[in-house]
């Protein structure tokens, strides 16, 4: 074993997706010595490494319920022409979507971390987490064949898959309660040279092609970038003729910040466990096969796609759900539908419960009341077994159904900010996380622009 680094940090964040990045910036701005460890050579996680987007949604009706650092990041992109900001969702599914330039996001997240004094450590995986007497003090990392250790007072697991939590032996659960199955994996891809004026015209002349938009016809005219969900009949015929060989019933595309560039969010890889090594590789292979099948199908059958050109797939297959912490509080779907405002709320979300079925084509949606939102309690990030390790982002403690709402990227980012702020307060006041002064936590978050209900 080669040892090249051995350093102590106030906070070590594992995973530089939107949650980990926001956690690191929040803590860094509070003066903590922060290390952010990321397997890739850039930040953004699913948003930059899996081609997901747009971010949806920052709103609940007209009210913006995700603010703070994630919104600041978007406003910085807007100033640079790298995002059009929050615009009407022309699929009609939710309130707003936030298209962005993924290369711009990589850079902006990096800038925010560097300005906050965060030490970045790229191309590094955490491989061992040893808990002694109920505390995690040291983790072992791997980079370019070097194994080395890093010490921390607090650790945030923002790996999406709760890798650190699993390695530290902290209890977790995975998948649907009835059978442990996760939502399908999806390899997104990006097409340029799509003629979206053709789709806009169809929305005017034949809105029934777009089922979520139909009751809100005309919404598309308010959207400077187009999102659409439709063409079920064409997809059905494609499946019948064997041109589409996987379960998908609708065309779902989102225009990015660049006009006529779309993200295609349609492939469906079922029955692969994203935290089983060989199955993850099988999912990548199947995802890429589906991408090429769909690419040809869209060009042949969907109006406006004739000249489309694929510029990008993945790069990694997207994982919607995997391990979730079994924490001090487990958020339920009923909490969401009740629009619960927890006394230890750290963030809010107004996105529907959006379950891509683990079994096939369907998407099962349960909508909150129009304009309704719920909050995320700090306790759903915490656990009593190893109290100096927190979850943040899509791996917090919740039911499978609740996860299908709170996992979206604005929410994951806001949860990250809450985690970073909580650790900062715990260190500043020498208090354990389960007994923080909640007024002080809310004051810190509000001063940093966050919305906590």
Q: Write out the residues near ligand FAD by the rule CB under 6 A.
A: 14-20, 37-40, 45-47, 49-50, 52-56, 125-126, 158-161, 163, 186, 188, 265, 318-320, 393-394, 407-410, 412
Other CB atoms within a 10 A radius of the CB of residue 89 amount to: 26
| CB 21 to ligand FAD: min, Å | 7
Instruction: Specify which residues 227 forms β-bridges with.
Output: 254
Query: Is the Cβ–Cβ distance between 392 and 376 less than 8 Å?
Result: no
By the 8 A CB rule, do 424 and 444 touch?
Answer: yes
Q: Using the minimum distance from each CB to ligand FAD, give the nearer residue, 54 or 152.
A: 54
Q: Which is nearer to ligand FAD, 155 or 342 (CB)?
A: 155
What whole-number distance in Å separates Cα of residue 295 and Cα of residue 378?
Answer: 43
User: Min. distance of Cβ 433 from ligand FAD in angstroms?
Assistant: 19
CB 38 to ligand FAD: min, Å: 5
SS3 428: helix
Indicate the residue among 199 and 412 with the shorter CB distance to ligand FAD: 412
- Sign of the CA dihedral 209, 408, 310, 364? negative
How many angstroms separate the CA atoms of 201 and 230, rounded? 14
Which residue's CB is nearer to ligand FAD, number 15 or number 304?
15
Q: Which of 408, 439, 420, 438 is nearest to 98 (CA)?
A: 408
Q: Three-class SS string for 347-370?
A: EEECCCEEEECCCCCCEEEECCCC
Give the separation between CA 327 and CA 123, rounded to whole angstroms: 29
| Minimum gap (Å) between residue 152 Cβ and ligand FAD | 14
User: Taking the complex as a whole, how short is the minimal distance between the CB of residue 409 and ligand FAD, in angstroms?
Assistant: 3
Cβ closest to ligand FAD, residue 388 vs residue 411: 411
Q: Taking the CA of residue 273 as centre, how many other CA atoms within 13 Å lie in the half-sphere pointing to its CB?
A: 12
Alpha-carbon span 121 to 136, nearest angstrom: 19
For ligand FAD, the closer CB: 208 or 417: 417
Q: With respect to ligand FAD, which residue has the nearer C-beta, 294 or 443?
A: 294
User: Residue 328 CB, nearest distance to ligand FAD (Å)?
Assistant: 19
CB of 322 to ligand FAD, least distance (A): 9
């Amino acid at each position: 074993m080669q040892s090249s680094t051995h350093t102590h940090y106030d906070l070590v964040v594992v995973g530089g997706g939107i949650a980990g990045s926001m956690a690191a910036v929040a803590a860094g701005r509070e003066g903590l010595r922060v290390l952010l460890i990321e397997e890739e050579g850039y930040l953004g996680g699913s948003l930059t490494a899996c081609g997901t987007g747009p971010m949806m949604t920052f709103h609940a009706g007209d009210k913006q319920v995700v603010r703070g650092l994630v919104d600041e990041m978007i406003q910085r992109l807007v100033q640079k022409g790298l995002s059009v900001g929050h615009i009407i969702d022309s699929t009609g599914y939710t309130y707003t979507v936030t298209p962005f330039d993924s290369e711009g996001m990589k850079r902006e997240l990096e800038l925010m971390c560097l300005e906050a004094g965060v030490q970045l450590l790229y191309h590094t995986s955490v491989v061992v987490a040893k808990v002694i007497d109920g505390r995690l003090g040291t983790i072992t990392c791997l980079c370019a064949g070097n194994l080395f250790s890093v010490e921390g007072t607090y650790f945030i697991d923002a790996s999406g898959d709760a890798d650190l939590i699993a390695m530290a032996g902290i209890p977790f659960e995975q998948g649907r309660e009835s059978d442990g199955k996760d939502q399908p994996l999806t390899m997104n891809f990006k097409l340029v040279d799509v003629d979206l004026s053709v789709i806009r015209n169809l929305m005017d002349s034949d809105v029934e092609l777009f089922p979520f938009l139909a009751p809100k016809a005309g919404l598309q005219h308010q959207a400077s970038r187009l999102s659409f969900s439709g063409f079920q009949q064409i997809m059905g015929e494609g499946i019948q003729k064997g041109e589409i060989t996987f379960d998908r019933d609708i065309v779902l595309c989102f225009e990015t910040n660049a006009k006529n560039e779309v993200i295609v969010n349609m492939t469906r890889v079922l029955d692969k466990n994203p935290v089983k090594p060989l199955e993850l590789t099988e999912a990548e292979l199947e995802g890429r096969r589906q991408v090429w099948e769909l690419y040809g199908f869209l060009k042949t059958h969907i109006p406006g796609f004739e000249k489309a050109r694929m510029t990008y797939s993945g790069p990694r297959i997207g994982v919607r759900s995997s391990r979730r912490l079994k924490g001090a509080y487990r958020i339920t779907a009923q909490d969401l539908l009740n629009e619960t405002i927890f006394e230890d709320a750290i963030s809010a979300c107004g996105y529907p419960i959006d379950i891509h079925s683990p079994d096939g084509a369907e998407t099962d949606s349960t909508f909150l009341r129009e304009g309704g939102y719920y909050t995320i309690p700090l306790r759903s990030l915490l656990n009593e077994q190893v109290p100096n390790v927190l979850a943040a982002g899509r791996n917090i403690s919740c039911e499978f159904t609740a996860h299908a709402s709170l996992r979206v990227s604005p929410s994951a980012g806001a949860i990250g900010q809450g985690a970073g702020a909580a650790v900062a307060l715990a260190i500043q006041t020498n208090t354990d996380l389960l007994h923080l002064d909640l007024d002080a936590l809310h004051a810190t978050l509000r001063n940093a622009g966050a919305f906590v209900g």
